[in-house]
Structure 1
Amino acid sequence: MTKIKTAFIAEDEPLAREVLRDAISDRPELSLIGEAADGVTALAQINLLKPDVVFMDIQMPEMTGLEVLRRLSHLPDIVFTTAYDQYAVTAFELHAVDYLLKPFSRERFDAAVDRLLDAPPSMQAMEHALNLAAGRDTGRLERILVRDRGHIFPVNVNDIAYLKADAKYTAIIVGDRTHLVRLGITELETRLDPARFIRIHRSLLVNLDFVESMKADEQSQLRLHMRDGSVLLANREASRMLRDMSI
């Protein structure tokens, strides 16, 4: 017999709360025990009621969902719900069970519930999540979540040829495809393996595994010839660093 899990909604939009309320009521494995319309109330009520799972928006008044997670003393399973896909990387790094991008279908909601019922995160995983949220864990990214045609899917960092800053976005080049993510290239650089990903320019971060060869130009700056045929120019500082790395 499936154990009934208590559920809590942290969502500032009344209509979104109603959608979640209806979806939860249709799942006999879930029992709704409380709601909050802002981050401060959510923090207090989650610690008081100790639900098994929280469906939590990220952008809320008073305190974001990520800030709530940082401060919780009770550690429930978290399913983030938001209209913004730029938080997907952080959400999964924090070991969220799932990340529902609004507006989501009932089928998508049911898939998230099935996931948390089948394989709920352990307490150890959630403690690790809090360490990440507090900035005490600097583990390397193994994958980056990207959005394409309304879907979010993981890209293994080993498959990335290079990253390029593009205004408020970072373009991630994987094979013949380019994915845009709302994360700065500097932020991504701090989470990637520095022995593999080299900043060759203010706007370019290159995976050395995808470099076919390098050749200096008239100004002694290295031109990196990539496997896909593209040629990337390293600035003088990066060119010196790459020369120093050669044996």
Structure 2
Amino acid sequence: MCGIVGIIGKSDAAPSLVEGLKRLEYRGYDSAGIATLVDGHIERRRAEGKLANLEMLLRDNGLSGRIGIGHTRWATHGVPTERNAHPHATARVAVVHNGIIENYTQLKAELTAAGQSFESDTDTEVVAQLIDLYLQQGHAPEAATALALKRLHGAFALGIIFAGHDNLMIAAREGSPLAIGYGEGEMFLGSDALALAPLTQKISYLHDGDWAVLTPASVTIRDREDRLVNREVRLTQLSGALIGKGQHR
């Protein structure tokens, strides 16, 4: 079971992304990574093994940027290596994913024939490459994502950021939980409320078929019929002190 964290905030996102991933360690994982936008460009740090390896990498080669996504991966498609670790990215888009894309073999063949180049053995990379293809065709990030979502079969929770869009993050859910956290001039994503406990206590959960556009000041949610919807915002009682597998409730 993979873990997802996303931040679109006021200060460098990397420290809080790593902290959020630590709170998802109870899910189990064999690699971890984060991506942020640095001067509008997507930059990644990924590491096989424990989060300590990612932290060491970040100490030696840090990441700035106030928008970012993070992921802990439990290998399903593709062995646990840095190459297969999330986030998966092109020059235009970066994606983290929990779940399984059942038709990824078909999509990968189509995308390869269309000229897209893959670097991993994962099902997740087809999501990044599919959105990238639509972006190259001139679609805006929201439209490119909506088109890609219609092509995906399976279960997924997705966090997506785009080069050149410092104030935009997209989330989507189909069969895999995903929470949105509400802050003051910042927004968050997490696989569950525990990941977001130090950042906010205001949480809403996407429903299956939902996809959401996040900016620092707003969240817009649409359902699978592309209708604007509201999802209940709840106050959680999770303590920011709760960390780790042994303290998960």
TM range (shorter): under 0.3
Work out which structure has the larger RCO, using CA pairs closer than 8 Å and 6 or more positions apart in sequence: 2
Structure of larger gyration radius: 1
TM-score (norm 2): 0.26
